[in-house]
Amino acid sequence: MATQESSYGRLTAVSLGPGDPGWITRAGWQALEETECWAWPVKKVGATSYALEIVLRGGLEPPAHSLPLVFPMVRDRAALENAWKQAARETLTVLEQGRDVAFLIEGDGSFFATFGYLARQVKALQPAIDVTVIPGVSSPFASAAVAGVVLAEREECLAILPATVGLEKINHALDHFETVVLMKVKPVLKPLLELLQRRGIEENAVFVEQAGAPQCRVIRNHEQLAEEGVHYLSLAIITGVGSHGRS
């Protein structure tokens, strides 16, 4: 498609991977180096950003005129939509000046990321804005590498669920898929461990916390998990189940 020269800056989502700055792609790194305004999500004004910390660990500093954008961790839909709209307006102000914006994303931009909401709100305000996603290493794949497990081979099927969808859906996935990845296990850790025990598949599960960050932990010991709990950036990979498994 012919691309018309636009007077607006471009909005680029830079997927940084889940934690190790070495997992940033070359294209992502180049976008960071070349873009004069970065934006990143924060939970409240003045809070730190997990995404920004990945880049800082890599040795890059944000440009002077950058945008911490507030995405509060609330469930109230109206409050969320207001926050996204506000973030979109702030981003659009920069884009309307003809300046490009690089939005920093932990993990991958197409996968449980705030960027989707922001992009839709920006597009709603100004459809002419050019939006690009640079893909990245997503946490299930990074965690598999760190834990030394294979997610899928041959005719195997992989299911990725937020652990908060409920035990019924998790059970169903464990019945039908050879590998199941459960994201965000923290709020349901106790019932999840009980479920794995009930099904007799504790040894099929490995938990990975903050993959690629200096604090990264790989945990297979369920007693330790039950005692110590996990960071909110934790997932479980359960292999060898479904039609190939023991359950």
- Point out which residues bind a copy of itself (CB under 8 A): 15, 17, 20-27, 29-30, 58, 108-113, 116-117, 131, 133-138, 141-142, 144-146, 148-162, 164-165, 169, 172-173, 176-177
Comparing CB distances to a copy of itself, the nearer of 211 and 225 is 211
Which residue in 142, 210, 211, 140 sits closest to 177, CA to CA?
140
- Smallest separation, CB 48 to a copy of itself (Å): 23
- Smallest separation, CB 37 to a copy of itself (Å): 21
Tell me how far apart the terminal alpha carbons of the chain are, to the nearest angstrom: 51
Comparing CB distances to a copy of itself, the nearer of 133 and 189 is 133
What number of other Cβ atoms are within 10 A of residue 147's Cβ?
A: 16
Which runs of consecutive H residues, i.e. helices, occur in 177-221?
189-199
Comparing CB distances to a copy of itself, the nearer of 173 and 200 is 173
Comparing CB distances to a copy of itself, the nearer of 200 and 243 is 243
Instruction: Give CA 1 to chain center in angstroms.
Output: 30
- Smallest separation, CB 218 to a copy of itself (Å): 11
Contact call for residues 239 and 178 (beta carbons, < 8 A): yes
Return d(Cα 230, Cα 136) in angstroms, integer.
Answer: 24
Comparing CB distances to a copy of itself, the nearer of 64 and 153 is 153
DSSP for residue 10: P
Return d(Cα 219, Cα 206) in angstroms, integer.
Answer: 6
- Smallest separation, CB 65 to a copy of itself (Å): 25
The encoded tokens of residue 187 equal 């709020």
Comparing CB distances to a copy of itself, the nearer of 26 and 64 is 26
| Contact residues for 194 (Cβ-Cβ < 8 A; gap 6+) | none
- Smallest separation, CB 246 to a copy of itself (Å): 20
**In the β-sheet with 11-15, what is the strand arrangement from edge to edge?**
67-70, 38-42, 101-105, 11-15, 131-134
- Smallest separation, CB 58 to a copy of itself (Å): 8
